[in-house]
Structure 1
Amino acid sequence: MLIECRVENFAIIEKLNISFEQGLTVFTGETGAGKSIIIDAISLLIGGRGSAEYVRHGAKKAEIEALFEINDTHPALSALEDLGIECPDQMIVIRRQISETGKSVCRINGKLVTLSHLKEVGQKLVDIHGQHEHQELMHPEKHIGLLDRFGGEQLQKLKKQYQDCYTETQHIYKQIQKLNKNEQQLAQRIDLLKYQIKEITEANLKDNEEEELLEERKQLVNFEKLYQSMQISYEALYGENKGLDFIRQAVNHLESIQELDANIKAISNAVSNSFYILEENAFALREHLEQLEYQPERLNMIETRLSEIGLLKKKYGQTVKDILEYLKSIEKEYQDLSNHDQTIGELEKKLAKQLDILKDKATKLSLKRRRIAADLSKAINRELKDLHMGKAVFEVKITTPDQLDDFNFYHIQGIDEVEFLISTNPGEPLKALAKIASGGEMSRIMLAIKSNFKSLVGLTSIIFDEVDTGVSGRVAQAMAEKIYQLSHASQVFCITHLPQVAAMADQHLYISKEVSNKRTATKVKTLDDKEKIAEIGRMISGVEMTDLTKKHAEELLKLAKEIKS
């Protein structure tokens, strides 16, 4: 379970420390108080994408930290083990900072991790279901993802095998498509490649050639300065009555007295060694001077060569190395295009074999989906009865192509087109869910689907962000009971405006915002029994609480207690 969460300088939250309990926790409060902001903070903590906009105005960074407790068989443990992160006492501390520049730093149990690794672990701890997920029901292309989540690990394994095979087949198919462009484009491409290969090859480029030419040009351009400085240096060392003559005199005098003083001997040796080193370098300087020659023709040749290299760089790469790598790639492409018919023939044979493998994997995945679809339809219909949609009939429709010899009949999800159908009234035919279900019905259907997701089993926490939109009365009570049932297996958090849901809470947190020193800040308060009555009364009436409203609130809490017991 999520034991504690600390949030600092996040949106309108200045500083919050919230302790959570097992079971169902509800967040209530006026619209705009910051209920969803707390869920946003948890979302970022488990790998959601952050930005500088989340940092509270005037703060340097936002910081979110949470402590999770898991059991010794929790799926998050294997993810942590893969990342080399220890999990002492089955406790996980996740911490995330977002700076005012938008940069993010993530840590799990003190170890720095990437955002993708944080997400990998976080998704095994928390599932967040927000209002936007209702939109998935409005778009049939999203239905296949919802069905597959219901399928659990076995279906996901088949899907992964299929998708790996699909990617490999797609690569071959795209190669054939590329080679099958019209003859005019093919001929133009071959001519272009031939010209480019000839231009680069004739240039006879070599690695590091440009750097060496630039160095040589620098010497030639500065020839006069080089020559004068070297000449003056040589004369200063080896000219008559210059440096080495004076040092030679020092060497001779020190050698004549080194036997008279032990300390002088070491100095004499050091000076003598320095003399020979300087003399050797003076000879090397003279030799270099003798070889030094101003070559204006060579400078012109270098300038011409550098200009040639510069033109090639504009066309084919930023460096000589890039140009040579580009040459290799176009030589291969030229060879493939020149052997166009032979290459296509080989690729088509390869594609045919690959399609047989893909067809087998796609068929297995489709058969599994159909069994899962039948199970999901039965499960949803059972749930809908509990949610006062007993006369509704829900069905998962799967459409598959008749023949599978063409790669165009396949897609990354498989060969199936999935759509949810429903009939909300007896005698009415099944129709597309997106066309006939109301907002309240959508909320109930999504809750029914979520209640049956195998992927939710074992999760530390499940979060519902206003999933009860558009319902009231006995339907609201049914949804409240359904959400509470989920809290038996996992810790559940729910942002709600329904008093029926709030009454079922094991922990009731009231969210409000206060203005202090002209700044707005979100506050969180855990309500006691008396405060629960007042808040549920406010949710019922929307105005100040009367005796009748109070009585109604007390009855709701009493009913909830009876249901829970």
Structure 2
Amino acid sequence: MLLNLAIKNFAIVSFVEIDWQQGMTTITGETGAGKSIAIDALSLCLGSRALANTVRPGCAKAELTATFDSSNISKATKWLAKHDLQQDDECIIRRIISIEGRSKAYINGSPVPLAQLKELGQLLINIHGQHDHQLLMKSQEQRRLLDEYADHQELLSSLKFYQSKWRKLNNELTLLQQNSQQRQAQLQLLQYQVKELDQFALQDNEFTQLETDYKRNSNAQQLLLLSQQCIEQLSESNNITEQSSALTQLQKSSEQLSQLAELDSAAAAIASLVNEARIQLEEASKDLNDYQQSIDIDPQKFALIEERYSFAIQLARKHKVAPEELVSFHSNIKKQLNAIANDDSRLDVINDELEQCFSQYLEIANSLHKSRTTAAQQLEQQITNSMRQLNMPDAVFKLAITEKQLNEPANHGIDEIEFLVSMNPGQPVEALAKVASGGELSRISLAIQVILAERIVTPTLIFDEVDVGISGPTAAKVGQQLHKLGHSTQVICVTHLPQVASKGHQQLFVAKLTDGKHTQTKVTELNQPGREREIARLLAGDEVTDSSLANARELLAS
């Protein structure tokens, strides 16, 4: 239930705060005073798109805050808990809109995207505008109203699931068929490339080893020569008249330093370092000899290495990749080849999947048709009774459901829905748009809205001049229906009819004030004398007479 609405710097409103009551609240005022401003502000607060004139002229931003009692609204309470936005039994929604058109939204103090405001708003309020009855002439709206009354949401969700699944499968089939010729050309190329690389069978990291082996074998003679020279310099001397090898000199120095350390302990550390150097040089000399022995000059082996190394480079150039990436390239084109093979296999089975999906869709659609037919029989009787209560005593309402043969799933099922009416005895039922006048459409729309409101519990219902085009006894009937509805849910009604305004449990008066430079709207809750004067004004115009006041008191008393 809506408890409070605070409006600041919105349109021509400087500041207005309204406390709302349970039951039926009527909003009246002169034409152009801004009777619908509270409704517009509430719509924005619950996520509607802001227009250019949202912010009051001369102000930087508009601020709208709505407070609800959510304790008895189970769907809203569950939604708030799911999004971690629950706060006691109240739900406070706030929206700030800047003059540049940017907006911020908050639920219980937490910033939220606009989409979440819309989701929550649908659980809190249902707004019916003065032009909603025109939608009744559209088949899509007629189907929506029937489905809302039937409340078969699970069937509709299942229907949309299979319809969406069928479309995805069909799009996939179309794409596969369009690309079939291109895939065949690519298939032949990939088969050739994979076969060539399979035959070569290069392994992970093999090219790096081939490159190392190639360099080693191609430089074997120079490696032997250089290693021999190093061995001679380190540990051997071919000419005894020349200076001894490095190892011989280091051995002599190590022996002399050992003697020196015996005479002076301060030289012991130096002797130790030189001795360690001698040991390391001996090990290096030994390793160098082993390395020289490992150098193998084998022309036949080198030829095989050179051939494989060269072919690897040739293949890499052919496929425009680095030689080191050849194995990865081979793996990738294998995957592409398998994917094309899978696509061809997919073509073989996708038609079966489409047929099965369509069959499942039709099964759900037939269940939906049965549910709609059952609900239509109940709804047409209720609407007929409601129309007669709204001063259409001979009205008959029928709901025609026609099954269509479909070649592909539609998002609404197999049914075409049409509202039919007869307004006079003996007149056959015809399409709503052909028979009903504007006022009759308005009453039929109200009848449906009342029936839906009684069947689907909505905590707050707002009617924005839904009584347009009606007057006299009919207006009284409309007021009685809304008053009755106010006993089970909160009803807010913007009206210009005294017969409707007098039926409210609470009445608000909207006035436009101006000082010649600035204009603003003021909303006042009327007491009993105030209500009498306002009802009298609605009855008689600007000049309130004793007679119109008496009529107003009579309307309020009734």
TM norm structure 2: 0.70
Report the alpha carbon displacement of residue 7 of structure 1 after superposing the two structures with TM.
0.3
Q: Secondary structure at the match of 1:56?
A: coil
CA–CA distance in structure 1, aligned partners of residues 38 and 413 of structure 2: 38
Q: How much does 1:49 deviate?
A: 2.0
Using the aligned pairs only, state the percent identity.
39
Structural mapping, 1:254-333, within 5 Å: none
SS of 1:101's equivalent in the other structure is: coil
The CA deviation string for residues 536-562 of structure 1, in whole angstroms up to 9 with x for no partner, is 111112231122222222221122xxx
Q: Displacement of 1:332 after TM fit?
A: 7.3
1:141 touches 1:419 (CA, 8 Å); kept in 2?
no
C-alpha contact (below 8 Å) 1:149/1:454 kept by paired residues: no
Structure 2 counterparts to residues 82-161 of structure 1, below 5 A = 82-88=82-88, 90-152=89-151, 155-161=152-158
- Give yes or no for contact 1:23–1:490 (8 Å, CA) kept in 2: yes
CA offset at residue 386 of structure 1?
Answer: 0.9
Aligned AA for 1:370?
T
Question: What is the aligned partner in structure 2 of residue 360 from structure 1?
Answer: 363
1:399 aligned onto 2:402: yes
Q: Summarize the alignment of residues 475-514 of structure 1 with structure 2, pairs less than 5 Å apart.
A: 475-514=474-513
Displacement of 1:32: 1.3
Q: Are 1:162 and 2:159 counterparts?
A: yes
Most deviating of 544-553 and 350-359: 544-553
Which residue number in structure 1 is paired with residue 78 of structure 2?
Answer: 78
> Displacement of 1:162 after TM fit?
1.3
2:38 alignment partner AA = I
Whether contact under 8 Å (1:423, 1:431) holds in the other structure is yes
Q: Is 1:547 paired with 2:537?
A: no
Structure 2: tracts of 5 or more residues without a match: 190-331
How much has 1:412 moved relative to structure 2? 0.7
**Where does structure 1 lack aligned partners over 5 or more consecutive residues?**
196-327, 560-565
CA drift of 1:111 comes to 1.4
Give 1:531's aligned residue.
Answer: 530
In structure 2, the residue matched to 1:218 is: none
Aligned CA distance change for structure 1 residues 332 and 556 (closer, same or farther; 3 Å): farther
Q: Distance in 2 between matches of 1:31 and 1:114?
A: 36
**Aligned position for 2:35:** 35
Give the Å deviation of 1:109: 1.1
> What are the superposed Cα offsets for residues 55-85 of structure 1, whole Å, 9 maximum, x if unpaired?
1122111111111113345321000011011
Q: Determine if the alignment matches structure 1 residue 171 to structure 2 residue 168.
A: yes
The C-alpha deviation readout for 1:131-188, integer Å capped at 9, x for no partner, is 2311211212221111111122xx012111111121111111233344556xxx9758
Question: Who is 1:384 aligned against?
Answer: 387
Q: Runs (4+) of structure 1 moved beyond 6 Å?
A: 188-195, 331-335, 338-341
Equivalents in 2 of 1:480, 1:9: separation in Å?
Answer: 33
Aligned to 1:370: 373
Partner Cα separation in structure 1 for residue 77 and residue 516 of structure 2: 45
Q: Distance in 2 between matches of 1:194 and 1:530?
A: 93
* Deviation readout 1:336-378 (Å, 9 max, x if unpaired): 6x98875433211110111121111111111111111111111
CA contact (8 A) 1:3 1:69 kept: yes
Displacement of 1:50: 2.2
Report the CA distance between 1:194 and its aligned residue: 11
Contact 1:51 / 1:103 at 8 angstroms: preserved in 2? no
Residue 351 of structure 1 aligns to which amino acid in structure 2? L
The answer to whether the 8 A contact 2:5-2:64 is kept is: yes
8 Å CA contact retained: 2:149, 2:455: no
CA contact (8 A) 1:137 1:143 kept: yes
Structure 1 residues 350 and 550: CA distance shift in structure 2, 3 A: same
Whole-angstrom CA distance in 2 between matches of 1:51 and 1:130 = 17
Whole-Å separation in 1 of the counterparts to 2:188 and 2:344: 18
SS of 1:43's equivalent in the other structure is helix
CA contact under 8 A between 2:162 and 2:358: conserved in structure 1? no
Rounded Cα–Cα distance in structure 2 between residues aligned with 1:74 and 1:459: 11
Structure 2 contact 130–467 (Cα < 8 Å) conserved = no
The residue type equivalent to 1:555 in the other structure is: E
- Which residue in 1 is equivalent to 2:351? 348
CA-to-aligned-CA distance 1:409-456 (integer Å, 9 cap, x gap): x31111111111111111111111012111111111111111111587
CA contact (8 A) 1:149 1:455 kept: no
Q: Which string of whole-angstrom CA distances, capped at 9 and with x for unpartnered residues, describes residues 505-560 of structure 1? A: 1111111111136111111111111121111111112231122222222221122x
Q: Tell me how far 1:121 sits from its aligned partner.
A: 1.4
Distance 1:105 1:456, change over 3 A: farther
The normalised TM-score by structure 1 is: 0.69
Cα distance in 2, alignment partners of residues 527 and 186 from structure 1: 76
Secondary structure at the counterpart of residue 545 of structure 1: coil
Q: What secondary structure does 1:34 align onto?
A: coil
AA paired with 1:11?
A
Q: CA, structure 1 residues 454+372, in 2 after alignment: closer, same or farther (shift >3 Å)?
A: farther
- Is the 1:74–1:458 Cα contact (8 Å) retained in structure 2? no
Distance in 2, Cα, partners of 1:117 & 1:542? 44
The answer for the alignment partner of 2:202 in structure 1 is none
Distance 2:387 2:532 in 1: 30
Deviation at 1:485? 1.0
Aligned-pair distance for 1:52?
4.4
CA deviation string 1:363-409 (max 9, x = no partner): 1111111111111111111111211112111011111125x5x31xx
Change (3 A) 1:128 1:367: same
Q: Distance in 1 between matches of 2:343 and 2:74?
A: 54
Q: Which has the larger radius of gyration?
A: 2
2:83 and 2:414 map into 1 onto residues whose CA distance is 35
The residue aligned with 2:57 is 57
Structure-2 change in CA distance of 1:76 and 1:519 (3 Å): same
Query: Conserved in 2, the CA contact under 8 Å of 1:150 and 1:455?
Result: no
Say if 2:461 and 2:492, in contact at 8 Å, map to a contact too. yes
Match of 1:307 in 2: none
Shift in alpha-carbon separation, 1:156–1:521, aligned structure 2, 3 A: same
* Compared CA separation, residues 167 and 333, structure 1 to 2 (3 A): farther
User: Are the counterparts in 1 of residues 146 and 375 from structure 2 also a CA contact under 8 Å?
Assistant: yes
1:272: which partner in 2?
Answer: none
**1:194 and 1:334 in contact (8 A); partners too:** no
Looking at structure 2, the residues matched to 453 and 398 of structure 1 have their Cα atoms a distance apart, in angstroms, of 19
Number of paired residues?
417
Tell whether the 8 Å contact from 2:404 to 2:416 is kept in structure 1 after alignment. Answer: no
